[in-house]
Amino acid sequence: MDYSSAVFYFFSFILLFSAIKVITSRNPILSALFLVLSFFSAAGLWLLLQAEFLAIALVLVYVGAVMVLFLFVIMMIDINVEVMKKGFWNYFPAIGFVSIIMLTEIILVLNKPFFKTPALFKAPIKSNTDAIGEVLYSEYILPFEIAAIILLVAIIAAIALTLRGKKMHKGIDPAIQISVKKSDRLKMVEMGINKFKTKKRVKRN
Amino acid sequence: MDNIFPQLPEIISTTLWTILKIVAIVIPLMISVAYLTYFERRVIGFMQGRLGPNRVGYFGLLQPIADALKLMFKEIIHPTKSNNVLFLLAPILTIAPAFAAWAVIPFDAELVLSDINAGLLYVLAMTSIAVYGVIIAGWASNSKYAFLGSLRSAAQIVSYEIAMGFTLVGVLMCANSLNLGEIVIGQSGGISQWYIWPLFPLFIIYFISAVAETNRAPFDVAEGESEIVAGFHVEYSGMAFAVFFLAEYANMILVSMLAALMFLGGWLSPFDFFPDSIVWLLLKVAFLLFFFLWFRATFPRYRYDQIMRLGWKIFIPITIFWIIFVGFMMQTPYREMFH
């Protein structure tokens, strides 16, 4: 066994193990963390295929951004696993049906000769990043731009959904804060301190 | 350098040789972290008219070692109802990416552990996963303060990462490469060729985002003592706390190193009559690290909404504008300035 196949088996073992743990672990935080681990080992496998740009992009986007926000949300929700598992057997026929359809679809797709080509293991002539950049901006420019516009629409939609108008707006304007003067906050009041003292004395007597 | 264990089977010899090289990077790094803490205490001490640690060894030079020994022998306390596995995993997850990123840092034209093509992206990915340690530490400690600290820190790191990523886009546009060594070589030809000049706004934004990414003052709301005690590591003691501390300082050195490589010409000398050497790189890193300490002694802590405003509404628009500007200038006769 040479070095790269040893690394391959190492990463694949971790990938399979963590993927199984994602669905079997009882703690949702642990599930999310195992998903992170499986992304990591998948990135390792891609590195073995000399697809360094894709591997690092996977870590950067899914591990560094998407899963962080996922964890963020999961941590703040109080998830009761018992309640969630209550209706499992009622839903089981529907779940089984959907998963069988998905399994057959995946098998049909992966059986295509396209996925059996050994060309996957051929090293790219120049750097992987250059190759992807060239193809992306020449051959696939239209799908790439369409994907960009769809993402932009999604960003605007997400902002529009959370924007509730000016009424709920409790934000502060830093410009107003900075230009505050002493006279806006402080009010000098004449206390008449001598009068106060004499009054107190009178009370005591 | 060649493998020094040619007689062993390939799997074992490659692994051993790689581990040796990693140790050769990590041990000097640990020593610099230890002495950075000493340096910080002395510098801030002098800035505040004090002396700082000066009792252990000559000029207090053994202070970091005394601190490390003390922390090693202290007990690690587990809070009740904390998740034990994750509680201990969090410090490891914080320090691992801080060290892993050093794999692609070129110290010299030849001296680099792994000379990969997408080095810049790799570093960005490694710094972006450092946030896991903070999030998990906050959640696993089962404490309100720790949890609030980790939420603040996670939101802050995710926000500033975007601005940081955009500044790196500017650098790679100038260098035409993602390889850190090639980025440095692209700046050869004296101080006037460094990328700090055409990318000056990006350099400033990179450095401020780096301060925010490492949770240093004035962006240290994650451990704002006056509000949430010590933030995400409030429940940690002994060596577990020390590991968080190590990671913070290792990250400081890492981002300074990256700024030196990408904007200040790395190991290249500023003037032609001096030879290029690793000494220049270390000097530049030390200079940038001094700024971290200076900031800490000078600025009051930002309020949380001010941090978010600075990151999203000021830095990101400026970086996007400057990327477009650089791309535009590259199509004009002035393109030589941007290469």
Where do the structural domains in chain A lie, given as residue ranges?
A: 1-85, 119-162
Given the cut 0.90, state whether the ipTM is greater than it.
no
State how far the Cα of B119 lies from the Cα of A3, in Å rounded to an integer. Answer: 22
Nearest C-alpha in A relative to B144: A76
- Indicate if the pLDDT at residue A16 is higher than 90: yes
Per-residue confidence (pLDDT) for residue A126, from 0 to 100? 65
- The stretch A41-55 carries a mean pLDDT of 85
Per-residue confidence (pLDDT) for residue B25, from 0 to 100? 86
Considering only CA atoms, give the Rg of chain A.
31
Nearest C-alpha in A relative to B116: A52
State how far the Cα of B142 lies from the Cα of A22, in Å rounded to an integer. Answer: 22
Contacts of B136 in chain A (CB under 8 A): 33
- Indicate if the pLDDT at residue A50 is higher than 80: no
pTM for this model (two decimals) = 0.82
CA B146 to each of CA A42, B127, B150, B248, B278: distance values in angstroms, whole numbers, following the listed order: 32, 21, 6, 17, 40
Burial label for A48, CB within 10 Å (0-12, 13-18, 19+), is middle
Top-ranked range on mean pLDDT: pick from A77-86, A191-200, B24-33, B130-139: B24-33
Instruction: Indicate left, alpha or beta for A134 from its phi (over 0: left) and psi (-120 to 50: alpha).
Output: alpha
Residue with tokens 């996963």: B129
Per-residue confidence (pLDDT) for residue B69, from 0 to 100? 87
- The stretch A38-47 carries a mean pLDDT of 89
Per-residue confidence (pLDDT) for residue A66, from 0 to 100? 85
- The stretch A54-72 carries a mean pLDDT of 85
CB B117 within 8 A of CB B183: no
State how far the Cα of B267 lies from the Cα of B284, in Å rounded to an integer. Answer: 9
Per-residue pLDDT of chain B (339 residues; tens, 9 = 90+): 556 666 677 777 778 888 888 888 889 888 899 889 888 888 889 888 888 888 887 888 888 888 888 888 888 778 777 777 888 888 888 888 888 888 888 887 777 777 777 888 888 888 888 888 888 888 888 888 888 888 888 888 888 888 888 898 888 888 888 888 888 888 887 777 888 888 888 999 999 998 888 888 788 877 766 677 777 777 787 788 888 888 889 889 999 998 998 888 888 877 777 777 788 888 889 999 999 889 888 888 888 878 888 888 889 999 999 999 888 888 887 777 766
What are phi and psi for residue B77, nearest 5 degrees? -95, 130
* Chain B residues with CB within 8 Å of chain A CB: 10-11, 14, 83, 86, 116-118, 121-122, 124-125, 128-129, 131-132, 135-136, 139, 147, 151, 154-155, 158, 161, 178, 305-306, 309
Per-residue confidence (pLDDT) for residue A203, from 0 to 100? 52
Per-residue confidence (pLDDT) for residue B2, from 0 to 100? 57
CB B318 within 8 A of CB B201: yes
Per-residue confidence (pLDDT) for residue A123, from 0 to 100? 55
State how far the Cα of B121 lies from the Cα of B127, in Å rounded to an integer. Answer: 10
Contact A64 B131 (CB under 8 A): yes
Per-residue confidence (pLDDT) for residue B312, from 0 to 100? 87
Q: Measuring CA to CA, which residue among B264, B158, B266 is closest to residue B204? A: B264
Closest CA–CA distance from residue A151 to any residue of chain B (Å): 16
Q: Measuring CA to CA, which residue among B252, B247, B263, B260 is closest to residue B39? A: B252
Per-residue confidence (pLDDT) for residue A1, from 0 to 100? 63
8-state DSSP, B301: P
CB neighbours of B38 closer than 8 A, spacing ≥ 6? B53, B60, B61, B63, B64
Which is higher by pLDDT, A182 or A124? A182
Per-residue confidence (pLDDT) for residue A38, from 0 to 100? 92
Per-residue confidence (pLDDT) for residue A116, from 0 to 100? 64
Contact A72 B151 (CB under 8 A): yes
Contact B11 A57 (CB under 8 A): no
Per-residue confidence (pLDDT) for residue B235, from 0 to 100? 79
Per-residue confidence (pLDDT) for residue A100, from 0 to 100? 94
Per-residue confidence (pLDDT) for residue A143, from 0 to 100? 92
Topology of domain A1-85, per CATH?
Four Helix Bundle (Hemerythrin (Met), subunit A) (1.20.120)
| 3-class SS of residue A145 | helix
Interface of A with B in 61-100 (CB under 8 A): 63-65, 68-69, 71-72, 75-76
B117 vs A57, A129, A172: nearest CB: A129
Per-residue confidence (pLDDT) for residue A147, from 0 to 100? 93
Closest CA–CA distance from residue B34 to any residue of chain A (Å): 28
Per-residue confidence (pLDDT) for residue B218, from 0 to 100? 84
